[in-house]
Amino acid sequence: MILRRAVILVFLLLLLTAGMAEAHRMFLGHRMSLEIFAIYDDGEPAKNADISIYRLNGTTQDYDLYEAGVTDAQGIYKVTLPGKGTGEWRYAISGAGHSEEGYLTVSAERPPSPEAKALGLALFPGLLIGWRVRKR
């Protein structure tokens, strides 16, 4: 019984102290592209509608014009945002006597790291085994 507990303890310690394998370093980049589509209330695409894309200026707290254009025959407008596209965005579309605007926030926050998830998964079996051993 003592040997079994010692083996389990050593196994858990090895599991918790194991480092991550690391390969050659790789660098990644990305661009944020938006595809904005506009339709009228009857379902028809808002073709050739005027569209303006604005970015919030952190200093003045005003929206500065980033790009202006016209939607295509399907009511679609595509734009690639600068850098990683982070920030507060506003877009305004108008055509045939109709107008609409929308807002979008692109954040640079990252999801939880895989290491944190792996640690949580590694602890669960150990706790379960400890609970079962203690229950006996």
Q: How far apart are CA 74 and CA 67, in angstroms?
A: 19
CA atoms within 13 A of residue 122's CA, in its CB half-sphere? 17
* Amino acid in the structure at residue 98: H
> Where in the chain are the domains?
27-111
pLDDT above 70 coverage of the chain, percent: 68
What integer pLDDT is reported at residue 5 of this predicted model? 75
Q: What is the pLDDT of residues 67-84, one digit of tens each?
A: 999 999 999 999 998 888
What integer pLDDT is reported at residue 29 of this predicted model? 72
Fold of domain 27-111: Immunoglobulin-like (2.60.40)
Q: Percentage helix, strand, coil, to 5, in the chain? A: 30, 35, 40
Contact between 93 and 49 under an 8 Å Cβ cutoff? The reply is yes
- Extract the residue ranges of the chain whose pLDDT is less than 50: none
